[in-house]
Homo-oligomer: A and B are copies of this chain.
Amino acid sequence: MDRYLVVSSDGHIGLRAPDYRPYVEAKYRAAFDEALPIQIDATRRMSDYFLITEINEEWRHGRDYELSGAWDPVARDKVLDGDGIAAEVLFPDGVTEMNAPPFGAGFTMRPDGASAELMWAGCDAHNRFCAEFVQTAPERRIGLACIPIYWDVALAVKKTEEARASGLRGVLLPPMWGSFDAYHHPKYDPFWATCQDLEMPVHFHSGPAPMEQFFGPLPPTDRDSVPPGAVGSYLMEVHLWLTRPLTFMLWGGVFTRFPKLKVAITEGTSAWVPDYLDRLEFHYAKTRESQKLGDFRGHLAESPADTFRKNVMIGASCMSRREAEARHAIGVGNMMWGSDYPHPEGSWPMTRQQQLDALHGVPDAELEALLGGNAVAFYGLDAGKLAPLAARIGPDKAGFQKARVAAA
């Protein structure tokens, strides 16, 4: 084949806020109607302070059809074909700030102060929509179910089984647990067992953080209520909030008990990985500094750095040149390119160029792995089924050769 099979590890779908209504169970529709204007207002006010409206609006300008791929499968496939993407992972939150599921479901799923019943209703609505969306082209779409696991593990297990039965192929978990038990707690074991048995990789996606610590009371009442440096501090920390769940799972021995459980950490770049692995190894190799502290290795079958290599995959959205150059320290087998469509920070509509800029000169076998092969293995995709599509739309290998020569 003279083209690459590309799988995007990071795509987003979501309905316009009012359009979630028919997907919400009937008994929650009155609550939905009541919450809708509040949600829209809060989203708008938050985005006034968090996003540069002009840049976001300029980016959207004249792209209404292409951006409707957030909920319209026909528009989406047109974009995917143009981008050379054969298959993709589908997270919630379609176009930034405009397509979040109701009742705090979706990306963040913060538990404190939330109603478990309503958040589950919001997740159910999104998961139904997602399953329906997947069915429009099951071989191209890896749909994820939103599962807020901290309230009721048995219920989370049941919802995950239902999601699998409906054709979804992974779960998205909240990266923050508020005052609930963190992810090293054994109470979650039945859930990890289910994900392992059903071959549903667990996902954490960048973005959530304790926003009120950066921005003050939310949503902001006026510009003066937001302290200077809110966004800068947020950017410095966002990957830390993303990787916390994995830290607790690795040290908690989750993968010792469930060695086939898989985790993807998405859109936090992969730049943090070498330092993270160093620190896992450093603390595992018992050091003088840790001698006074209690045992924390007896329940682990191996170094958590070794576990990382086997069980963890990085959704390296818009993988940068810098990340590509550091790929051996990060792990060529642990990185999956992603487009992040339809977010403005994603590669679309310049995906081809983004890939060439970042990946030119990477040997062919490694390129194949980074662009799609790793994702095929991680999600158990049927590469044979995707091959004809890739042969038609995939980026041509000759282009990468030319870019390599041009850069040299």
Compute how far the CA of A280 lies from the CA of B233 in the bound complex, rounded to whole angstroms: 9
Compute how far the CA of A218 lies from the CA of B185 in the bound complex, rounded to whole angstroms: 15
Q: Which residues of B contact A295 (CB under 8 A)?
A: 52, 231
**Residue-by-residue, is A99-110 near B (CB-CB < 8 Å gives 1, otherwise 0)?**
000000000000
A235-B283, A236-B280, A275-B275 in contact; A228/B291 too (CB < 8 A)?
no
B345 and A235 within 8 A (CB): no
A186 and B228 within 8 A (CB): yes
A181-B227, A186-B228 in contact; A51/B294 too (CB < 8 A)?
yes
Indicate if A118 sits at the interface (CB-CB under 8 A): no
A229-B184, A236-B247 in contact; A292/B344 too (CB < 8 A)?
yes
A216 and B296 within 8 A (CB): no
A237 and B231 within 8 A (CB): no
B55 and A292 within 8 A (CB): yes
Contacting residues of chain A (11-37) with chain B, CB-CB under 8 angstroms: none
Q: Which residues of B contact A304 (CB under 8 A)?
A: 232
A293 and B229 within 8 A (CB): no
Compute how far the CA of A390 lies from the CA of B268 in the bound complex, rounded to whole angstroms: 49
Shortest beta-carbon distance, A12 to chain B, in Å? Answer: 14
A181-B227, A184-B227 in contact; A236/B279 too (CB < 8 A)?
yes
Indicate if A158 sits at the interface (CB-CB under 8 A): no
Max chain B Cβ within 10 angstroms of own Cβ: one of A59, A182, A185, A292: A292
Q: Which residues of B contact A236 (CB under 8 A)?
A: 247, 251, 279-280, 283
A230 and B181 within 8 A (CB): no
Q: Which residues of B contact A181 (CB under 8 A)?
A: 216, 227
Shortest beta-carbon distance, A383 to chain B, in Å? Answer: 31
A185-B216, A236-B283, A240-B240 in contact; A299/B229 too (CB < 8 A)?
yes
Contacting residues of chain A (222-257) with chain B, CB-CB under 8 angstroms: 227-233, 235-237, 240, 244, 247-248, 250-253
**Residue-by-residue, is A270-309 near B (CB-CB < 8 Å gives 1, otherwise 0)?**
0000010001100110001111111111011000100000
